[in-house]
Amino acid sequence: MSVVVNGTTPEPAIRIPAGKTSWIRVYNDMPDQNTTMHWHGLSQRTAIFSDGTYFYYSHVGLQAHTSSGSLIVTDNGPPPYRYDDERIIEFGDFCNATDASIEDGLVAHPFVWSGETHGVLIDGVGVATGSIGGTAGCVLPVIDVEPSKTYRLRFIGSTALSMVQFGIADHGDFTIIGADGQYTKPYDVRYMQVSTGQRFEVLFKTKSKAELGNQTDFVIYCNAAPIVTTAPATPPLTFSNVTYNWAEYALQPLKPNDFPTASQVTRRVEIRNRQMSANNASVIWAASGLQWIDTTAPSGKPYLVSIYENGPSAIPNYTNALANYGWDPITKAWPAKIGEVLEIVIYNQPSIVENNYGLDFHPFHAHGRHYYDIGSGNGTYDPAANELRLKGYNPVLRDTTNLYRYTSAQTVDSLAGWRAWRIRVEDAGVWMIHCHILQHMIMGMQTVWVMGDYEQIASIQHYDAAGYLEYGGNAYGNDSYTPSYVHQFS
């Protein structure tokens, strides 16, 4: 069984205006499964002000495989770039196993890997890897455009596992104008790279009728195994086998932002990620030694609920966390103080499962406020060297960027690549930072951050969240209780 919304996958596109309150009600019609709807890239504190491309999906297990849809926050006024029309292009993964069977295997003893993606879909349409369009009732997706027009293409990475690199044959460059909902200065690339959780907006100019001649069909090429046995008359697009460093230190905000300098950083936090074995049977992912899964919270309840119920005792101990790789050993959460400027360095470390010392790539996503992405590199992070690279460069705010794999394997305790962010801690609350590969999340590659102290968190009004704070089913209802609904608009 797979989860869908309003009977479709991808889910219906939602467009909401910037600067206004929009009311979206989510019903769970599944009698035996929980679900939560995550509005990826938005903090949801007040009316949405961040115009751009986002998406929404269930944040339970592998439900996002099929329950994802585009969320477009429209510009409050004329957009800063001119174009004739737009298209939303959402990438997804297809697996020929049920969500439940994949999840069961990932947490099983012994461990059972999900296997690789059986096909990459565009807007829910595609063919299985190694198959030919038109067979077994499957077709290749078609995107209709007109000659001599400029299109704003909104690319959404709603895959579970796949990084997609792609270009359009016999056409010019893409001009990137936005990333993760933030407008950027124009930056030309020959091909795009979109990982799970990422969004990019580009301008794409179609050819004129004269340039087209009699040709009207062009192929979007993705990195994949070829399925033809004879060479085409026109060579297809070729991509570099090097996936790392794509558009690194290149994207800058359209308008200057409040990027914190190195001298403003108050604390550096390292998150060292590696694959480990547990009980000599299961395989887990751990961040600085901590595997975080749904049952990790000591109270058995969501952190925010526990904080409201139990007061300051539910807040992670800051001093203990500093002495323990950044996370509190009691609450299993990572604390931060309002006003801090954090430099978070995310590391790749070799797997110690069966001593194979292999490496993987990880698109890391932060909930809540966007971060300033300050680059990535092989080996160990060198603050001084990276600061030289940042000279004259204004990083764009992001919410999902890649921790790349620079080599296939390394020695056991080496640091084999890094991604660095800077974050101004300004919003009190509980947020997640995690790998956006769904399989890795289920295996434990997640961290929970508690921003602010009890007074700062408790001061946030929650007049319309009483059902949520009575954790255990009251917000959903049961045989003896019918919940009341809060109506935003009368």
- Whether residues 66 and 203 share a domain: the answer is yes
SS3 percent helix, strand, coil of the chain, rounded to 5, is 10, 30, 55
Identify the pLDDT of residue 69: 74
Chain segment 111-139, per-residue pLDDT in tens: 888 888 888 888 877 777 776 655 656 77
- Whether residues 347 and 395 share a domain: the answer is yes
- Whether residues 35 and 97 share a domain: the answer is yes
**Cα–Cα distance for residue pair 232/325, rounded to 1 Å:** 54
Task: Answer whether residue 437 shows pLDDT above 90.
Answer: yes
Identify the pLDDT of residue 429: 87
Task: Answer whether residue 235 shows pLDDT above 90.
Answer: no
- Whether residues 278 and 201 share a domain: the answer is no
In this structure, of 64-68, 88-92, 171-175, 336-340, the range with the lowest mean pLDDT score is: 64-68
Report yes or no on 130 lying in a domain. yes
- Whether residues 146 and 29 share a domain: the answer is yes
Report yes or no on 20 lying in a domain. yes
- CA distances 351 to 272, 273, 327, Å, are 12, 9, 21
Identify the pLDDT of residue 251: 98
Q: What is the mean pLDDT of the chain?
A: 83
DSSP letter string, 460-474: S--TT-HHHHSTTTT
- Whether residues 68 and 120 share a domain: the answer is yes
CB atoms within 10 A of CB 486: 12
Question: Residue 44 belongs to a domain with what CATH number?
Answer: 2.60.40.420
Chain segment 28-44, per-residue pLDDT in tens: 777 777 777 777 666 65
Identify the pLDDT of residue 119: 83
CA contacts within 13 A on the Cβ side of 58: 23
**If pLDDT is split at 50, 70 and 90, which confidence band does 229 have?**
very low
**Cα–Cα distance for residue pair 330/335, rounded to 1 Å:** 12
Burial 336-359 (b: 16+ CB within 10 A, else e): beeebbbbbbbbbbbbebeeebbb
Report yes or no on 172 lying in a domain. yes
Report yes or no on 49 lying in a domain. yes
Identify the pLDDT of residue 419: 98
Identify the pLDDT of residue 27: 74
Report yes or no on 234 lying in a domain. no
- Whether residues 273 and 333 share a domain: the answer is yes
Rg (CA), the chain: 23
Identify the pLDDT of residue 347: 97
Report how many domains make up the chain. 2
Task: Answer whether residue 57 shows pLDDT above 70.
Answer: no
- Whether residues 280 and 404 share a domain: the answer is yes
Report yes or no on 7 lying in a domain. no
- Whether residues 404 and 350 share a domain: the answer is yes
> What residue numbers bound the domain in which 424 lies?
262-469
- Whether residues 164 and 89 share a domain: the answer is yes
Report yes or no on 426 lying in a domain. yes
Report yes or no on 28 lying in a domain. yes
- Whether residues 290 and 385 share a domain: the answer is yes
